[in-house]
Amino acid sequence: MKKNTELIKKAAVTVLVMTLFLTTFAFGVTEEYSTENDPLVSLSYINGVLTPSFEKYVDDRITSVSADEVAAALMKNDSFKEYIASVIASQTHGGTSGSSASENFITLELSAGKRITANGRCEIIVRTGQAAAVCKADGAVRDLSADKTLMTGDAIIPGNLIEITYSDGSGVTALHTPTEILVRGEFTIGE
């Protein structure tokens, strides 16, 4: 029995020594570790190294690009062209006007009294609001969806495809503010 008690004491001392050793080792390892030595998670690395190098890269790119290059890149962007056309269309003072040509439909929001005039073949779809045809020649404005020719003052049915083939001043006038119109082709926006 004395032998068993001695064996238990040796086992208990061994477990106690191992526990103390592992605890000391664990605290030693965690004290030495810090995020300063690990740039992947260190805020100081992001603030001290990455941010300044990114800012320098952006500054270098900005100074190396000309205004003409920026304008050319913007004009290739359909969303930007739509935005410019809608800005032109929303101007209501001073009789301002703008011209555009588009291979794809662009969305315009017209105020009452604004007119889209065809400068050649032009297709128009009134999405919301009210609009009327403006015809300078017979057969200039056609409602392809209803398969009929419109006359000046005829209401345009929202959702119908309107085709204008003449550049004689024929077009579509917004009667209601706002009137949302899809337009494709060559056109001018004015009063």
pLDDT tens column, 2-56 = 667 777 777 777 877 777 666 766 655 555 555 566 656 577 777 888 888 888 8
pLDDT tens digit sequence for 88-143: 655 543 334 455 566 788 888 888 888 988 888 889 999 999 999 998 877 789 99
Exposed/middle/buried for 68, CB within 10 Å: 0-12, 13-18, 19+?
A: exposed
CATH architecture of 94-190: Sandwich (2.60)
Question: Helix H segments across the chain?
Answer: 2-32, 43-45, 51-64, 67-75, 78-90
Q: What local confidence, expressed as pLDDT, does residue 96 receive? A: 40
CA–CA separation, 43 and 39 (whole Å): 8
Residue 95's pLDDT is 39
Q: What is the CA radius of gyration of the chain?
A: 37
Domain ranges of the chain: 94-190
